[in-house]
Amino acid sequence: MRNIAILASGSGSNAENISLYFKGSNSVKVVLIATENPSAMVIERAKRLGIDHTIFTMDQMRNGAFLKILMTKHVDFIVLAGFLKLIPDNLIQAYPNKIINIHPALLPKYGGKGMYGNRVHEAVIANGEPESGITIHYVNGQYDDGAIIFQARCPVVISDNAETLALKVHELEYLHYPRVIESVLK
Ligand code: GAR
């Protein structure tokens, strides 16, 4: 069994979708949903799903206390799903090539600090891009910078705004992220 932890900072719809995908799986188990945001909706989702959750501070992530929680839960793979803070080096070293992230655009474009959620979609539309999509990548010490594992695309049409584009991108995320996690873990 591979035990995964999902980290999310906000709504957590991807965290829920991934958890439901692996519910009943005999090879992958979501053992923890973790957030640094005490008011994140993902906490309610974790409760509803019956999955353990934890709220941590970024200090705890940097000083090793969060790592201890992961060890206690026997976590061997970390999935970022709308987690908006930089992962500190100690965690990356403890989980080499075992932390992945999803970004709501076609990296290397529209990534980096401050590029998250609707800000990404607004920038894509403002630049008149004909397409956008998702990028799933390994996490290194910089925002949206690690090796790319998978990308999927969707068209951007003239009538799109950040909200409609976000819907299309979320559909791609829901379809692909669980399957990519599954194949990386094989
Ligand atoms: C997702 O679209 C994810 O790609 C994005 O945040 C959203 C979270 O939605 N991540 C980033 O922008 C990271 N830079 P969710 O909380 O409903 O899963």
Classify 100 as helix, strand or coil.
Answer: strand
What stretches of the chain show up as alpha helix (H) in DSSP?
13-22, 42-49, 58-63, 65-72, 89-94, 117-126, 162-185
pLDDT at 158: 95
Give the pLDDT confidence of 113-165 residue by residue, as tens digits.
Answer: 999 989 999 999 999 999 999 999 999 989 899 999 999 999 999 999 999 99
Read off the DSSP letter of residue 54: E
Q: At what angle do helices 162-185 and 13-22 cross, to 10 degrees?
A: 30
Can you list the residues of the chain whose pLDDT is less than 70? none
pLDDT at 162: 97
In the structure, which protein residues have their CB atom closer than 6 angstroms to any atom of ligand 1?
8, 10-14, 81-82, 102-104, 116-117, 120, 169-170, 173
At position 83, the amino acid (one-letter code) is F
The predicted model scores a pTM of 0.97
Tokens of 51: 């999955």
Q: Which three-class secondary structure string do you get for 24-46?
A: CCCCEEEEEEEECCCCCCHHHHH
Calpha distance 29→167 (Å, rounded): 27
* Domains located in the chain, CATH noted: 1-96 (3.40.50.170), 103-175 (3.40.50.170)
At position 64, the amino acid (one-letter code) is G
Query: 150 with 181: CB under 8 angstroms?
Result: no
Residue minimizing CA distance to atom 9 of ligand 1: 82
pLDDT at 165: 98
Catalytic residues: 103
